[in-house]
Structure 1
Amino acid sequence: MQPTDHSNISLLKEIAELLNEETELQPMLQGALRKLLAGTRFETGWIFFINGRGKHEMIAHENLPEALAHDNCRYLCKGGCWCLSKFRNNELEKASNIIECQRIESANAADVGDNADITHHATVPLQSGHERFGLLNVASPNTVSFSDDDLALLESVAFQIGSSIKRIMLTKQEQEMALVQERNRLARDLHDSVNQLLFSVTLTSRAGVEMSDEPMVKETFKEIQDLTQEALTEMRALIWQLRPKGLESGILEAIKGYADMLGIQLKVNVTGVVQLPSKVEEALFRLAQEALNNVRKHSGVKEAELYITLTSTDVLLVIKDEGRGFQLPDRVQLPSLGLQSMRDRTTSLGGTIDWVSDIGKGTEILIRMPY
């Protein structure tokens, strides 16, 4: 039964309340989609996010039939279709009926499960002003075309969702800016206080070595000098962690500068043009920092190689050394907190990371990140 105008208003109010309460993108979209299906004759739906390069990602879905949900929504996520093509070409401005969907047709033809008589879907762009985020698709059994009222309701919901996506993204940007400002403040404080104190201790201990004639005193001052120099290097590395000096000149210059600061001779090999989103660039830089720290602390060598290979969809970063290496007896449980943090940082952006290492045979870290 077609919902009445009153029920439509109530539904839009419920969705608006949910959207205003949520602060995380995926739960917000999943909840809005669930409410939309519960309050209308639409029975299944899914949401694609589409980045500036046209790459799509399914970020939410609800009540998919077996054929469409098969193998992690394989048939919905792969290949091309009319709605994505129109979106990428800026030709999809309002809710539209899809005459035929290649994705649904592929799933039904594969005979991988019940399709619940889903053969067509409607689509509407998710946007806020001139900024576009993706598509909301809905479908119902034995339905090849939705009414104008159905499409009008779909557009209203999409408008609400688009505005909320923009709000959450702006909030995230503000939080990231605040975090960067706090990192910069901490870096300045460390540089102006602790870093300068350690440098003073280094100079004092060096003077003590030169001024004393007692071998034991000389040795004590020399040990203080060495320990303080080591602490100074650690402090400078920490400051780099907080404020990646040189990243404004590109990730390659930043990584090479960090290696120089650690006293590591780094050979760089690049395939492709290095033009990455800032979020991916900073994540790769942080991962390279941790990898180079491990080279300095554990490998026993002062040389390493960096490989960066870019394709149209992802970037591969490899850092390799010929040092003492280590054993990974259990690939699930990593042997150190540093390695686990590298895995967590990588997987949080949809990437993969692996280590190839053995005693006396060096270490190779392979990171693949989509962008």
Structure 2
Amino acid sequence: MKDHSNITILKEIAELLNEETEMIPMLKGALSKFLSGTKFDAGWIFFIGKKGKAELVVHENLPEALRYNQCDHLRKGGCWCVSRYRNDELKKASNIIECQRIESAIEANIGDHEGITHHATVPLQSGQERFGLLNVASKHTIRFTDEELELLESVAFQMGSAIKRIHLTNEQQEIALVQERNRLARDLHDSVNQLLFSVTLTSRAGIEMSEDPDVKETFKEIQQLTQEALNEMRALIWQLRPRGLESGLMEAIKVYAEMLGLRLTVNVAGVIQFPSRIEETLFRIVQEALNNIRRHSGVMEAAIYLTITATGVLLVVKDEGRGFVIDHNVEIPSIGLQSIRDRAESVGGTADWVSEIGKGTELLIRLPY
């Protein structure tokens, strides 16, 4: 039923936006409520990054032609609304005279377009910060009234404010997480790390003071095990608090490899200028990869190849160690490799391996940004 007043619609959407804490469910719910309470029939939302790349994040009630192959025609190609947005020419809710994405879907004859040929568009923003576009369409409608555009603009303002709120919340959570990591790292360094160091010194003194060969050997084993535990603890502290990132990603990786005792060759193609999340993800992946090489490869040498393009990054970590057999019937050969894949997928990337017994291992990471 589309008999709500505009005030009622805006109130219900505001309540939903204030209650939700997850971005996509929030936008999907708000868009669904907006369509159910107005004369608009379908809608979709693009997030547009600083480089101008448009990403379809939410859609509701799309006709078959636009839904085809996971909204292929909405996801690809160019259009007037995104171009105007990129050029900072789209300031308010506007009618779209023609839409290349809709036209290409209709021309492809891949399903019923249900009379949807045009749409209205409005930028999603909060103050001067912009996030993307909200597009809505109605069947057999070429132009929308000023009243409909004003309502669309009001909803877009609400959405933009809610998007900003969630971004700020996520940033605060990231800050809290970093602070907690730092606290844990300090505690481990001040307590467990110092304790292990003391045990190392004590075992060394025991070796020097004892004349019994068996006792000396026992103290040597204690010293060796404690030193290994101390190295593991230092690596763990590094994982909690990556020192060196402030000097650049590759510098931090080199310092970490040096701490592990690995001889590392680094090759970089392109300019390293990542968002902070991508940079830390790459660092964590390399950390785990270098840990695996030190523990399992049987060699103390590795090579890193980093290739940066305008839209993504390819990372290769390679060793000439003992390698392993990849069983395609088993999902992941180790927890460490599972961690690498999870980190890559968390930012929309992929992780793959090439390995053979006696011929080393090659890790391939692809991340978009």
TM-score between both structures, scaled by the size of structure 1: 0.97
Q: Which residue is equivalent to 1:353?
A: 351
**Distance in 2 of aligned mates of 1:151 and 1:268:** 54
Q: Secondary structure at the match of 1:76?
A: helix
Distance 1:191 1:226 in 2: 20
Partner of 1:23: 21
Aligned to 1:97: 95
CA displacement, residues 141-192 of structure 1 (integer Å, 9 cap, x when unaligned): 1111111111000000000000000011101111110110011011011111
Question: Structure 2: how far apart are the matches of 1:332 and 1:159?
Answer: 49
Structure-2 residue corresponding to 1:339? 337
* Number of residue pairs the alignment of both structures matches: 369
Q: Give the alignment partner of residue 276 of structure 1, picking from 257, 274, 277.
A: 274
**Aligned mates of 1:317, 1:59 — CA distance in 2:** 27
Aligned-pair distance for 1:211? 2.2
- Shift of residue 197, structure 1, vs aligned partner: 1.1
Aligned to 1:198: 196
Unaligned 5+ runs, structure 1: none
CA distance in 2, matches of 1:245, 1:365: 24
| Partner Cα separation in structure 2 for residue 88 and residue 310 of structure 1 | 23
Query: What CA distance in whole angstroms lies between the structure 1 residues aligned with 2:64 and 2:303?
Result: 48
- Of 118, 128, 131, which aligns to 1:130? 128
Tell me how far 1:331 sits from its aligned partner.
6.3
| Structure 2 unmatched ranges of 5 or more | none
Q: Deviations over 1:193-241 (max 9, x none)?
A: 1111111111221222222222111111111111011000000000001
Aligned AA for 1:268?
V
Q: What is the rounded CA distance, in whole Å, between the counterparts of 2:106 and 2:41 in structure 1? A: 17
Question: What is the distance in 1 between the residues matched to 2:225 and 2:262?
Answer: 19
Encode CA deviations 1:61-91: one digit per residue, 9 max, x unaligned: 0111111111111111111111111111111
- Output the CA distance in 2 between the equivalents of 1:229 and 1:142: 75
Match of residue 142, structure 1, among 106, 123, 140: 140
Q: For residue 158 of structure 1, what is the amino acid of its counterpart?
A: A
Counterpart position of 2:208: 210
Match of 2:62 among 47, 51, 64: 64
Q: Say which is worse superposed, 105-114 or 288-297, in terms of deviation.
A: 105-114
Say if 1:135 and 1:342 are closer, same or farther in 2 by CA, change over 3 A: same
Q: How does 1:203-352 map to 2 (within 5 A)?
A: 203-330=201-328, 333-352=331-350
Residue of 29, 32, 37 corresponding to 1:39: 37
Residue in 2 that maps onto 1:79: 77
Amino acid paired to 1:151: L
Give the whole-Å Cα distance in 1 for the aligned partners of 2:358 and 2:237.
32
Structure 2 CA distance, aligned partners of 1:342 and 1:107? 38
CA shift, 1:269, in A, is 0.3
Write the distance in 2 (CA, Å) between the matches of 1:302 and 1:52: 41
**2:9 is matched by which residue type in structure 1?**
L
Write out per-residue CA displacement over residues 288-347 of structure 1, whole angstroms, 9 at most, x where no aligned residue.
111111001110000000011000000111101011111221266112222212211111
SS of residue paired to 2:321: coil
Instruction: Return the alpha-carbon distance in structure 2 between the equivalents of residues 124 and 118 of structure 1.
Output: 18
Match of 1:362 among 335, 360, 363: 360
- Residue 12 of structure 1 aligns to which amino acid in structure 2? L
Which range is displaced more, 207-216 or 327-336?
Answer: 327-336
Sequence identity of aligned pairs in percent?
A: 72
1:231-269 superposed Cα distances (whole Å, 9 cap, x missing partner): 000000000010001011111011111111111111000
Amino acid at match of 1:51: G
* Residue equivalent to 1:121: 119
Report the TM-score, using the length of structure 2 for normalisation. Answer: 0.98
Indicate the residue corresponding to 2:177 in structure 1: 179
